[in-house]
Chain A
Amino acid sequence: NAGVTQTPKFQVLKTGQSMTLQCAQDMNHEYMSWYRQDPGMGLRLIHYSVGAGITDQGEVPNGYNVSRSTTEDFPLRLLSAAPSQTSVYFCASSRQGSQTEAFFGQGTRLTVV
């Protein structure tokens, strides 16, 4: 009964390094999203996908890249990490439609030094 699985749970990066946050879901959901959570800002949408091969930008996409080659996986790539990307990152998945809640992963706490 895995749901949405994010790895890693914690990560420290140096400025300029790149890395990929992994996200996988086993519920056959069409929609997957990445959010970042910063103090006092709520959750802000980075990128989302409505199916394999289809992605689009959210509110704060700069510095991040995504692709979706399978229904199950939606990795988030930091191309060149900056201290402003220090945040907690959440992956979420859901079925299509306005009535469906999103299921969240456990989150990844990323620190860029």
Chain B
Amino acid sequence: AQKITQTQPGMFVQEKEAVTLDCTYDTSDPSYGLFWYKQPSSGEMIFLIYQGSYDQQNATEGRYSLNFQKARKSANLVISASQLGDSAMYFCAMRSTLNSGYSTLTFGKGTMLLVSP
């Protein structure tokens, strides 16, 4: 069975500092994708970044980077130069193959990030 684990229920960071949100995963599929989503207090789910299991380089999108360590099965999100608008819930997710042969997203429980001035 596929599983995503986010061990940090909450994180605090000061504005302009970098922060790492942890994510570990478990899957037996050789091909999978890892995703991070942001959910601000308004409730919508915003896609941030994607990493493929065969990608050699860590993904980056602006201030977001994904620290992918395949042997450790971890896919941590790094936010550089935090901003007040980064305060939100962050979900790690994995697209994995079900017994049916189709793929769906499995989510972790989330990490609430609070950025202080």
Residues of the A chain whose Cβ atoms lie less than 8 Å from the Cβ of B95: 98-100
Contact status of A98 and B103, CB under 8 A, knowing A40-B109, A107-B44 = yes
Number of interface residues of B (CB under 8 A): 31
Instruction: Please indicate the chain A residues that have their CB under 8 angstroms from the CB of B32 in the complex.
Output: 98
Please classify the interface of chain B as helix (H, G, I), strand (E, B), loop, or mixed, using the class held by over half of its residues: strand
Chain B interface (Cβ < 8 Å from any Cβ of A) = 4, 9, 29, 31-33, 35, 37, 43-45, 47, 50, 52-53, 91, 93, 95-98, 100, 102-110
6 contacts between A and B (CB under 8 A): A41-B109, A43-B105, A98-B31, A98-B103, A101-B50, A107-B44
Interface residues of A (CB under 8 A from B): 31, 33, 35, 40-45, 48, 50, 56, 58, 88, 90, 92, 96-104, 106-107, 109
